[in-house]
Amino acid sequence: MPTETILPSVRQIDRPAGTGPNSVGWTRSTNGQPIDKSDGSPIPYAVLVKLVQSAQQALDGDDDEAKRFILKAADLLDAEVHRRAATEFPERLPAGNRHLAPWQTRRVIQVVEENVGGKIRLEDLARSIRLSPRQFSRAFSGDFGETPYAYVLRRRIERARELMLLTEESLASIAVRCGLSDQPHLTRMFHRLVGESPASWRRRHRSARSARANTAIEEPAAMAA
């Protein structure tokens, strides 16, 4: 049902929101009956706009009146911030349960794989499964045995190894494709996880693959002879 917002007067500003049909937190339905809006539902932006406009007009004559408008607008904004904070992460882990649900695990893996070549933020991963960053980090570490940061970095390096073996791309290009800033960044992270430089690892594994390929070719030839 459409509503018509009651905009506050100067006298209404001094009255706590939600205390009656003349307060800012109330609206009127089309039949004139007051409806309480101070129950955590979104605050009409028209109310805030009117408060700010009234404060601007009051600045020309009555500073105290202008301050009351501004304080009330600030209170409403603060209430809206708390309302959004309470609803942004509606999924809550039961007390004592520090594990992700199967669908949450699958979703996190999917998000990482789809974005391993780009920016992956802890907040985005947590939001994708409707948890707060703190809850997500705790549950993820318990399930995966490593932090989200360590997991994402490991997946970037594993992708880099695949590209080094299967393509002729330069290390600089591979670094960017794996979400790392540049080749030195790839080198540092690769050495930390693998224990050698990417260039050395690439040469060694390519030589081993070439040797195995040559052996596979020589064996049928020897049998034919």
pLDDT for 207: 83
Banded pLDDT at 216 (limits 50, 70, 90): low
- Would you say residue 30 has pLDDT above 50? no
pLDDT for 11: 37
pLDDT for 65: 73
Lowest model confidence (mean pLDDT) among 13-17, 84-88, 114-118, 181-185: 13-17
pLDDT for 203: 93
One-letter amino acid identity for 142?
Answer: G
Who has greater pLDDT, 38 or 58? 58
192-212 tens-digit pLDDT:
999 999 999 999 998 877 667
Lowest model confidence (mean pLDDT) among 51-55, 72-76, 94-98, 141-145: 94-98
Chain mean pLDDT for the chain:
75
In sequence order, the 6+-apart residues with CB closer than 8 A to the CB of 83 are 40, 41, 42, 43
Structure tokens given for 45: 């932006």
Structure tokens given for 3: 């509503």
Lowest model confidence (mean pLDDT) among 113-122, 185-194, 207-216: 207-216
pLDDT for 68: 75
Average pLDDT over residues 74-83: 58
Name 28's bridge partners.
4, 34
Measured CA to CA, the distance from residue 66 to residue 63 in angstroms comes to: 5
Banded pLDDT at 44 (limits 50, 70, 90): low
Who has greater pLDDT, 25 or 97? 97
Assign 3-class secondary structure to the chain: CCEEECCCCHHHHCCCCCCCCCCCCEEEECCCCEEECCCCCCCCHHHHHHHHHHHHHHCCCCHHHHHHHHHHHHHHHHHHHHHHHHHHCCCCCCCCCCCCCHHHHHHHHHHHHHHCCCCCCHHHHHHHCCCCHHHHHHHHHHHHCCCHHHHHHHHHHHHHHHHHHHCCCCHHHHHHHCCCCCHHHHHHHHHHHHCCCHHHHHHHHHHHHHHHHHHHHHHHHHHHC
Average pLDDT over residues 115-135: 96
Banded pLDDT at 8 (limits 50, 70, 90): very low
Q: What percent of the chain has pLDDT over 70?
A: 56
For residues 23, 25, 29 and 33, what is the CA-based torsion angle, rounded to 10 degrees? -40
Who has greater pLDDT, 4 or 71? 71
Average pLDDT over residues 149-154: 98
Who has greater pLDDT, 223 or 33? 223
For 21-30, give one letter per residue: b (16+ CB within 10 A) or e.
eebbbbbeee
